[in-house]
Structure 1
Amino acid sequence: MPNAYGKFYDFCRDTGSLHSTLPVCNLFYESPSRGGQGFGGCNLRGISIGDERLANLGSIIIAFIAILVTLVLLWRSERKKAAVGRREMQIFLIGYIIIEICEIFTIGWFPLRGDIRIAFTAVHIATIVADLWILMMNGAVGYQLIDDGTPLSLGLVFGSAAALFVGTGYIALDMGYSWTNYWAKDELLNKPNQAYAMYTLYQLVPLVFLVIFFILETVLVLRVLGETRPMIFLVAAGLLFAIGQVFQYVISPYICNGTDGAINGGLFETFFTLLAVVTIWIFWSSITEDDWPMPPSGGSTYT
């Protein structure tokens, strides 16, 4: 099985040879970040900057735009004084900004030393896991089992996300720097680019968090609020995210070969993920009140 559980080789090959647009690929021995010769797929040409090469300018530009757009969403969220889960949503947006900053250096391939790129990759992967956990927790916050915005609510959201961040980040760093070789032992046993823990954390766990978020929000909107219109935004967000993943994992080599290495699917994955995040924010905004001068003393703050 070429894509057996835990194996990344085909994914890394299809998202770029020397300059893969899948951040986890920076942790494997074939990656130039670790002195390797690449994965054998279509390579991004990029542009020259002095003696260095900027391999993925398109993703860097879109990541920068994503940071600016998210800052606007943070500001808009701050103005929604009465909205349920306002602080929790802001934590999610801050996590997304960190992801996009890391993306500039990990899949944008902004010129860096290999060991520094590995550090950015570890932060990138750890933040993806933690931020999707935060998104899932945002879905749970909507049921107001615990008052949103309180130290208890924020502590649970941030504290649990921090634990996931530290654990995932350590495993990624251990793989990239070969501190113990425990998490990369499959590679050492003649199983190149195979890492069960990282496959679980990077490929499966975020998907589980995302599915749970959509289920929680669907039940909330349809059963608790009795509305249907907000589902348009929720479904749109899911479709936009899925389209981005299709570009990343399926269409990328065809785009790269068709443009002679000018771009690949990573650029479109960044763009559609940004659209998905904006649409999730619009969905959240559509089910919360934002026109009270101060939070009410009791009762629901849903529209």
Structure 2
Amino acid sequence: MVRFGDFNRICETVALTVCPLVGAEEGRKEIVMFFYLYMMVTTIELFLVSGIVPTASTPYPYFVAAHVGLITATFWCLLLNGFVGFQFAEDGTPLSLWGMAGFDPLRPVALWIVLYIFNGAALSIYVVLQIVLVLNTLDDRWPLGDILFGIAFYVIGQAILYIFSVRICDTAKHYIDGLFFGTICTLLAVMMVYKYWDSITKEDLEFSVGSKQNVWEVRELLGEEEYSNQGGYELILQKLGE
């Protein structure tokens, strides 16, 4: 049973990068920043979990600190992306683009709160905000599917990581564990974040995942009353002809 603020049970199941340090026994600038942060998290994680940086080496704590900080920054950036759609600040401004307590290796409660409570809350708020945004702003409900798939991939990845990791490791004779599949599921979840963002963004990106033009864009340009009175798609064709 996992206890609040306790990494022991977690580290017995999953080889997280922080485990050797916590006393455990074992389009837009905003979305681009999110992907950059995820890329940096993945890169540092590669150095840590592969053993390139040994756990007993002097640089290891610094790499772990950077890894944990970047994970939290990634969730924070995702949360801010959730607010961008509500136009709380102009896109690309410092406000729309963007602490941690002391760390005791024997009592890492603050670290536990940041990793699981803060990051989980940031992710949950982001999902709720996007569902509200789609339901209240868009006529197209397909973006909800992207959100649901992203949630599903992430939840499955976390379940594999924290529940089935030991079983997978034993079955595979220690050649692979849940961390591998959890990382893949996280990558798929990040891909769905992009797919969702692309589906609600006005820009016609060269490498756009979705090719369907949103009707709400036309309504915004023409006005609701003009759109409904003159017949939506006939008016669209007329405007395109001009």
Structure 2 length normalisation: TM-score? 0.79
Q: Which runs of 4+ in 1 moved over 3 A?
A: none
Question: What is the CA distance between 1:156 and its match in structure 2?
Answer: 2.1
CA deviation digits over 1:58-115, x for unaligned, max 9?
Answer: xxxxxxxxxxxxxxxxxxx4xxxxxxxx111011111111101111122233244522
The count of corresponding residues between Structure 1 and Structure 2 is 208
Map of 1:94 onto structure 2? 36
Map of 1:133 onto structure 2? 76
User: Where does structure 2 lack aligned partners over 5 or more consecutive residues?
Assistant: 207-216, 222-242
Q: How is 1:130-209 mapped onto 2 (pairs within 5 angstroms)? A: 130-149=73-92, 151=93, 155-159=94-98, 167-168=99-100, 171=102, 175=103, 183-184=104-105, 187=106, 194-209=107-122
**Cα distance in 1 between the residues matched to 2:20 and 2:202:** 43
Q: Which of 73, 84, 105 does residue 47 from structure 2 map onto?
A: 105
Indicate the RMSD between aligned Cα atoms, in angstroms: 2.2
Map of 1:281 onto structure 2? 194
Map of 2:148 onto structure 1? 235
Q: Which stretch shifts more, 122-131 or 103-112? A: 103-112
Q: How is 1:1-303 mapped onto 2 (pairs within 5 angstroms)? A: 2-15=1-14, 20=15, 22-30=16-24, 39=26, 77=27, 86-112=28-54, 114-149=57-92, 151=93, 155-159=94-98, 167-168=99-100, 171=102, 175=103, 183-184=104-105, 187=106, 194-291=107-204
**Cα distance in 2 between the residues matched to 1:89 and 1:101:** 19
Closer, same or farther in 2 for the Cα pair 1:292/1:6, shift >3 Å?
Answer: closer
CA deviation digits over 1:126-181, x for unaligned, max 9?
Answer: 111111111011010011132212x3xxx12444xxxxxxx34x74xxx4xxxxxx
**Cα distance in 2 between the residues matched to 1:195 and 1:157:** 31
**Cα distance in 1 between the residues matched to 2:205 and 2:21:** 49
Any conservation in 1 of the 2:90–2:96 contact (CA below 8 Å)? no
Any conservation in 2 of the 1:105–1:117 contact (CA below 8 Å)? no
Which structure has the greater CA radius of gyration?
A: 2
Letter in 2 for 1:9: N
SS at match of 2:163: helix
SS at match of 1:143: coil
Identical aligned residues as a percent: 29
**Cα distance in 2 between the residues matched to 1:138 and 1:251:** 32
Question: What is the CA distance between 1:3 and its match in structure 2?
Answer: 2.3
User: Where does structure 1 lack aligned partners over 5 or more consecutive residues?
Assistant: 31-37, 40-76, 78-85, 160-166, 176-182, 188-193
SS at match of 1:115: coil
**Cα distance in 2 between the residues matched to 1:23 and 1:204:** 18
Letter in 1 for 2:21: L
**Cα distance in 2 between the residues matched to 1:262 and 1:239:** 26
CA deviation digits over 1:225-284, x for unaligned, max 9?
Answer: 132111111110011011110111000000111112111100011111011001110110
**Cα distance in 2 between the residues matched to 1:145 and 1:6:** 34
**Cα distance in 2 between the residues matched to 1:202 and 1:128:** 8
**Cα distance in 2 between the residues matched to 1:207 and 1:269:** 16
SS at match of 1:114: coil
* Larger RCO, structure (CA 8 Å, separation 6 or more): 1
Any conservation in 1 of the 2:158–2:182 contact (CA below 8 Å)? yes
**Cα distance in 2 between the residues matched to 1:103 and 1:148:** 30
Structure 1 length normalisation: TM-score? 0.64
Any conservation in 1 of the 2:134–2:143 contact (CA below 8 Å)? yes
